[in-house]
Amino acid sequence: MTKTENESADRWEAQIRKGCLELAILAGLWENRLYGLEILRVLEGDSNLGLAEGTLYLILNRLKAEGLVDSEWVDAGSGHPRKYYVLTEVGKERLLEMTHFWNRFSANLNVLTGRVVGQKELTNAQK
């Protein structure tokens, strides 16, 4: 691949990651209330979203302003208080809608990309 092709591939990947961040963050909060660093660990562990850590707080702040999450400071005896985030009812509904969309969307895309992988294996086998 040439340099520009590489760059445009990188940009495409970055866009996909960026587009999925909100879904990933909300999904991370589905079962538990979490604080910033925990959310980051969940994101790093379950999906490689390549996030600048400070950006997470900007997104959480926006999600809170939109009423999708709520937050509270909790001093759990760790020496310093932590700001925990929890999904609101609106946030849960929103997450369900997003999840349904995502599942339909990725299933359809998999049908298309499945054919591509199939073709590629076929050509490799012919060589």
Partner 1 sequence: MRKSDVEALIERYLSDFRRALLKVPATEREDMLQEIRCHIVERVEAYGEVTEPLLNQILDSVGDPKQLASQYKTSAMLRRAVKSRSPWVLLSTTFSWATTGVAGIVALIIAVIGYGAATASSLCFLLKPFFPSRVGLWLSPQHTLTLGYWNGKLIDTEIYGFAFRPPFNFVVLGTLPSTNGPVREMLGLWIYPVCFLGALLLLVATTSFTRWFIRKFGPRRSLSLNTGDKTQCLQSTATSLR
Residue numbers at the binding site for partner 1 (CB under 8 A)? 18-23, 35-37, 52-55, 57-58, 61-62, 65-66, 80-83, 97-98, 101-102, 104-105, 108-109, 111-112, 115
- Least distance in Å: CB of 109 to partner 1? 7
CB atoms within 10 A of CB 86: 13
CB of 55 to partner 1, least distance (A): 6
Cβ proximity to partner 1: between 6 and 61 the closer is: 61
How many whole angstroms separate alpha carbon 44 and alpha carbon 65? 25
User: Using CB atoms within 10 A of its CB, is residue 42 exposed (0-12), middle (13-18) or buried (19+)?
Assistant: middle
Nearer to partner 1, 9 or 76 (CB): 76
Strand intervals (E) in 3-122: 34-35, 69-74, 82-87
State phi, psi for 54 to the nearest 5 degrees: -60, -30
> Least distance from C-beta 20 to partner 1, angstroms?
6
Specify the residue, 1 or 21, whose C-beta has the smaller distance to partner 1: 21
